Amino acid sequence: MTAAKPTATGTPGYTETMPCQPESAHRARLLVSAALNTWGIGELVEAGTLVVSELISNAVNHTRCRMVRVVIRRETAEVVRIGVADKCRTPPEPDHPDDDTEDGRGLLLVESMSWRWGYDLHRWGKLVWAELRTPPSC
C-alpha cells in the first residue's frame, strides 16, 4: 500500500500511485475527499469523487497501463484540479452513445460536473484532468 504524499513546495496538492484496476477508484475517491476536506472545501467532494471515479474508469478501460497516478492540486483559491496520469499517449475522446447504450458517458459526465476538463500529453504518457471551482463566498 502506498501513502498519499502532499507536495512539499509550490501548489498545494496530493498525489498517489495505484494499480490501474477498477478497485483503485475507491482509494482515489478517498484521496480526493481527504484533500478537499483538508482544504475546507468539502462542498466539492461529491463532484470531485465522481470525476476521479470516471477518470480512473477511463484509464482502466482504455489503456494497457499497470499503474495510474492520481493528482489533486489546489491551482488557486477558487480552482481545484483532479487528474489521472497513465503511460498511454492516446488522447481521450468523449463518446456520443445512443440513448439506449449504458456505457460511454464517462467523459460527458466529467464535462458536466467540472468547470473545464482536458489532457496534457507528455513524453511518458498523458494526464487527463478536470477542474472544479469553489462556490462563491457570501
Is residue 64 assigned to a domain? yes
| Cβ(128)–Cβ(84) below 8 Å | yes
Is residue 52 assigned to a domain? yes
Structural domain for 64, as ranges: 10-92+102-133
Is residue 111 assigned to a domain? yes
CATH of the domain at 27: 3.30.565.10
Tally of domains within the chain: 1
Per-residue 3-state assignment (H helix, E strand, C coil) for 31-69: HHHHHHHHCCCHHHHHHHHHHHHHHHHHHHHHCCCCEEE
Cell of 130: 478536470
More confident residue, 98 or 79: 79
Residues 10-66 have pLDDT tens digits of 668 999 999 999 999 999 999 999 999 999 999 999 999 999 999 999 999 989 899
Is residue 31 assigned to a domain? yes
Is residue 97 assigned to a domain? no
